Amino acid sequence: MTDNAVLIAVFAAVSLLSGAVGLAVYHWAFRYRDLVNARLHELARDDADAASVSLFKESGQRGASMLTADSLRATLQRLIDQSGLRWTVGTLAWATAAAAAAGAAVALSAGVGNTAAGVAAACCSAAPIALLYSRRHSRTKRLTKQLPEAFQLISRTVRAGQTVPAALKLLSEEFKPPLSEEFALCYEQQNLGMSKESALRKLADRTGILELKLFVVAVFVQSKSGGDLMTLLDNLALMVQKRLRLKDRVRALTGEGRMQANVLLLLPLAAMAAILVLAPEYAASIMARPWLLLATAGAQLAGVFWIRRIVNFDY
């Protein structure tokens, strides 16, 4: 690989990275304006048809049209929202391109060849998506742990004579993020003129948490046919607490399997690093066969994925 090619690759990586940083700074500086514009755009839609569609039916219809470009963009934006980052789909695209270019530039500068550079670019391009999934998992976990106390607070607030929107405002003031952020947005949407049903439906759709969907359904049923909302919320809080205890018990029982997955992933990397240091000639013969490295990496990932599927299940 010539020096000019390396310089061109580095220049492309730096240019894409600069564009991604600039776009992220722009969206950070104007995030409040963009949020207000997005909310006003949502309010301009016709909520009459949306109110007649059930929450779970709407989710099913969205999943059935997953192959369209608009639905793919909406899915990516939903993933970004659930991660808590102030990104857009455009920011994600820039970050993916910058990560791929940076990986290719580093690989080319190391002189490993075009094939290895392409593999490095493909692996690095998945880093932004992996970051979003990791942050979504962490944020969803923290949000779920806050729900039992939140449901109990709503029950006490309604029992004291306040309305559900007033309880949502109290939640946004008394709790820590991420729960306070989600309920604050739901309360602000209602202040801007959105109906309570639409705001709650968007809350459940935005978070994707089953317990919040059950909460929204409970509020819908109570508003349409009456009933004791306080008792429903107390029972829902108790159910969430039991589910969290069950989840902790499952994690304790499957800890050995998760450790096996980590060892399966990290031990070959540590062995390869030791071979590079202790026997560089043998390591060079391995590096000269990229198809062997790709097959090994694929087998490792398949094993890790299979173990994860065994120890992680819905309940």
List pLDDT tens digits, range 74-84: 888 888 888 88
Whether the CB-CB separation of 16 and 98 falls below 8 Å is answered with yes
**CATH 1.20.81.30 is held by the domain 137-252:** yes
Peptide bond into 178 cis (omega under 30): yes
List pLDDT tens digits, range 108-166: 777 767 777 777 788 888 889 989 999 998 999 899 889 999 888 988 888 888 888 88
Q: What is the pTM of this model?
A: 0.68
pLDDT attached to residue 11: 53
Whether the CB-CB separation of 256 and 201 falls below 8 Å is answered with no
Tell me the pLDDT band of 232, cut-offs 50, 70 and 90.
confident
Tell me the pLDDT band of 51, cut-offs 50, 70 and 90.
very low
Q: Residues 145-167, buried b or exposed e (16+ Cβ, 10 A)?
A: ebbbbbbbbbbebbeeeeebeeb
Q: Is the pLDDT of residue 26 over 60?
A: no
Q: What percent of the chain has pLDDT over 70?
A: 76
List pLDDT tens digits, range 4-19: 555 555 555 555 555 5
Average pLDDT over residues 16-39: 57
Two tokens, residue 84: 């808590």
Two tokens, residue 297: 């990496």
Cα–Cα distance between 304 and 298 in angstroms, integer? Answer: 10
Cα–Cα distance between 227 and 225 in angstroms, integer? Answer: 7
pLDDT attached to residue 132: 93
Whether the CB-CB separation of 258 and 311 falls below 8 Å is answered with yes
Contacts 24+ apart (CB under 8 A), 175-183: 175/146, 175/149, 175/150, 176/146, 177/84, 178/84, 178/139, 178/142, 178/143, 178/146, 179/143, 179/146, 179/147, 179/150, 181/84, 182/143, 182/206, 182/207, 183/150
Average pLDDT over residues 209-233: 84
**Sequence spans of domains, the chain:** 3-125, 137-252, 255-311
9 CB-contact burial (10 Å; exposed 0-12 / middle 13-18 / buried 19+): buried
Whether the CB-CB separation of 121 and 103 falls below 8 Å is answered with yes
